[in-house]
Amino acid sequence: MPRRLILVFFLAWSAFAFLAELQDTFAGWDRRESERADPIRWRFGVRQVGILEQCLAEARREIPPGSVVAFASPQGPAAADFYRWRWAAYLLPEHDVLSVSDPKAGELARYLIAHRQPIEEPRAEVVRQLTGCVLYRVRP
Protein backbone atom coordinates (compact mmCIF):
# COMPACT_ATOMS: atom_id res chain seq x y z
CA MET A 1 0.00 0.00 0.00
CA PRO A 2 2.69 2.61 0.83
CA ARG A 3 4.43 1.94 -2.47
CA ARG A 4 1.24 2.63 -4.38
CA LEU A 5 0.66 5.79 -2.40
CA ILE A 6 4.19 7.01 -3.15
CA LEU A 7 3.74 6.17 -6.84
CA VAL A 8 0.38 8.01 -7.01
CA PHE A 9 1.89 11.01 -5.22
CA PHE A 10 4.89 11.04 -7.60
CA LEU A 11 2.66 10.82 -10.70
CA ALA A 12 0.37 13.59 -9.42
CA TRP A 13 3.35 15.80 -8.63
CA SER A 14 4.89 15.13 -12.08
CA ALA A 15 1.62 15.93 -13.86
CA PHE A 16 1.23 19.15 -11.88
CA ALA A 17 4.83 20.23 -12.62
CA PHE A 18 4.41 19.40 -16.32
CA LEU A 19 1.20 21.43 -16.58
CA ALA A 20 2.80 24.39 -14.75
CA GLU A 21 5.76 24.37 -17.17
CA LEU A 22 3.42 24.07 -20.14
CA GLN A 23 1.40 27.06 -18.95
CA ASP A 24 4.56 29.18 -18.51
CA THR A 25 5.72 28.19 -21.98
CA PHE A 26 2.48 29.22 -23.65
CA ALA A 27 2.34 32.47 -21.65
CA GLY A 28 5.90 33.26 -22.81
CA TRP A 29 4.95 32.47 -26.38
CA ASP A 30 2.06 34.93 -26.20
CA ARG A 31 4.35 37.70 -24.89
CA ARG A 32 7.14 37.09 -27.40
CA GLU A 33 6.56 40.24 -29.49
CA SER A 34 6.38 42.69 -26.59
CA GLU A 35 9.45 41.23 -24.90
CA ARG A 36 11.53 41.46 -28.07
CA ALA A 37 10.82 45.11 -28.77
CA ASP A 38 14.16 45.92 -27.15
CA PRO A 39 16.97 45.52 -29.75
CA ILE A 40 19.07 43.63 -27.22
CA ARG A 41 16.51 40.77 -27.42
CA TRP A 42 16.08 40.78 -31.21
CA ARG A 43 16.42 37.47 -33.03
CA PHE A 44 15.83 36.50 -36.64
CA GLY A 45 12.14 36.00 -37.22
CA VAL A 46 10.85 38.78 -34.96
CA ARG A 47 8.84 41.55 -36.59
CA GLN A 48 11.34 44.35 -35.87
CA VAL A 49 14.20 42.52 -37.56
CA GLY A 50 11.96 41.73 -40.53
CA ILE A 51 11.17 45.41 -41.03
CA LEU A 52 14.85 46.36 -40.77
CA GLU A 53 15.83 43.55 -43.18
CA GLN A 54 13.30 44.74 -45.75
CA CYS A 55 14.43 48.35 -45.40
CA LEU A 56 18.10 47.48 -45.84
CA ALA A 57 17.40 45.11 -48.74
CA GLU A 58 15.67 47.95 -50.56
CA ALA A 59 18.52 50.36 -49.70
CA ARG A 60 21.11 47.85 -50.93
CA ARG A 61 19.69 48.20 -54.47
CA GLU A 62 20.30 51.97 -54.40
CA ILE A 63 23.72 52.14 -52.74
CA PRO A 64 26.86 51.16 -54.65
CA PRO A 65 28.87 48.36 -52.95
CA GLY A 66 31.72 49.58 -50.77
CA SER A 67 30.03 52.86 -49.87
CA VAL A 68 30.20 54.35 -46.42
CA VAL A 69 26.70 54.51 -44.93
CA ALA A 70 25.58 56.32 -41.77
CA PHE A 71 22.73 54.67 -39.88
CA ALA A 72 20.31 56.61 -37.67
CA SER A 73 17.62 55.12 -35.46
CA PRO A 74 15.32 56.48 -32.76
CA GLN A 75 17.06 57.82 -29.70
CA GLY A 76 16.79 55.61 -26.68
CA PRO A 77 19.11 53.85 -24.31
CA ALA A 78 22.69 53.77 -25.59
CA ALA A 79 22.65 49.98 -25.73
CA ALA A 80 19.52 50.00 -27.97
CA ASP A 81 21.15 52.40 -30.44
CA PHE A 82 24.30 50.26 -30.46
CA TYR A 83 22.40 47.04 -31.18
CA ARG A 84 20.30 48.59 -33.96
CA TRP A 85 23.50 49.90 -35.60
CA ARG A 86 25.14 46.47 -35.29
CA TRP A 87 22.10 44.81 -36.89
CA ALA A 88 22.37 47.28 -39.76
CA ALA A 89 26.08 46.56 -40.17
CA TYR A 90 25.39 42.82 -40.13
CA LEU A 91 22.63 43.11 -42.73
CA LEU A 92 24.75 45.35 -45.02
CA PRO A 93 28.03 43.39 -45.17
CA GLU A 94 29.17 44.95 -48.46
CA HIS A 95 29.12 48.49 -46.97
CA ASP A 96 30.94 50.28 -44.18
CA VAL A 97 28.15 51.19 -41.76
CA LEU A 98 28.76 53.93 -39.20
CA SER A 99 26.48 55.07 -36.45
CA VAL A 100 25.17 58.58 -37.05
CA SER A 101 26.58 59.49 -33.62
CA ASP A 102 30.11 58.62 -34.79
CA PRO A 103 32.10 61.87 -35.18
CA LYS A 104 33.54 60.72 -38.52
CA ALA A 105 30.15 59.84 -40.00
CA GLY A 106 29.55 63.42 -41.18
CA GLU A 107 32.75 63.53 -43.24
CA LEU A 108 32.95 59.92 -44.49
CA ALA A 109 29.37 58.83 -45.17
CA ARG A 110 27.87 59.48 -48.60
CA TYR A 111 24.56 57.79 -47.76
CA LEU A 112 22.35 57.94 -44.70
CA ILE A 113 19.65 55.48 -43.69
CA ALA A 114 17.17 56.85 -41.17
CA HIS A 115 15.29 53.96 -39.57
CA ARG A 116 11.98 55.20 -38.08
CA GLN A 117 13.49 58.62 -37.39
CA PRO A 118 13.17 61.90 -39.31
CA ILE A 119 16.42 63.64 -40.22
CA GLU A 120 16.96 67.39 -40.29
CA GLU A 121 20.27 67.68 -42.13
CA PRO A 122 20.76 70.34 -44.82
CA ARG A 123 23.34 68.24 -46.71
CA ALA A 124 21.02 65.21 -46.89
CA GLU A 125 18.67 64.86 -49.85
CA VAL A 126 16.04 62.15 -49.99
CA VAL A 127 16.81 59.41 -52.49
CA ARG A 128 13.87 57.17 -51.70
CA GLN A 129 11.28 56.36 -49.05
CA LEU A 130 11.78 52.71 -48.12
CA THR A 131 9.80 50.28 -45.97
CA GLY A 132 10.35 51.48 -42.42
CA CYS A 133 13.11 53.94 -43.26
CA VAL A 134 14.32 56.68 -45.58
CA LEU A 135 17.46 56.63 -47.72
CA TYR A 136 19.35 59.94 -48.08
CA ARG A 137 22.33 60.94 -50.22
CA VAL A 138 24.73 63.15 -48.30
CA ARG A 139 26.29 65.98 -50.28
CA PRO A 140 29.95 66.78 -49.51
Residue ranges covered by each domain of the chain? 2-30, 39-138
Would you state the pLDDT for residue 34?
A: 52
pLDDT, average across residues 8-36: 74
Would you state the pLDDT for residue 91?
A: 94
The predicted model scores a pTM of: 0.71
Cα separation, 42 vs 1, whole angstroms: 54
Cα separation, 47 vs 37, whole angstroms: 9
Cα separation, 137 vs 18, whole angstroms: 57
Would you state the pLDDT for residue 138?
A: 92
pLDDT, average across residues 36-41: 70
Would you state the pLDDT for residue 98?
A: 93
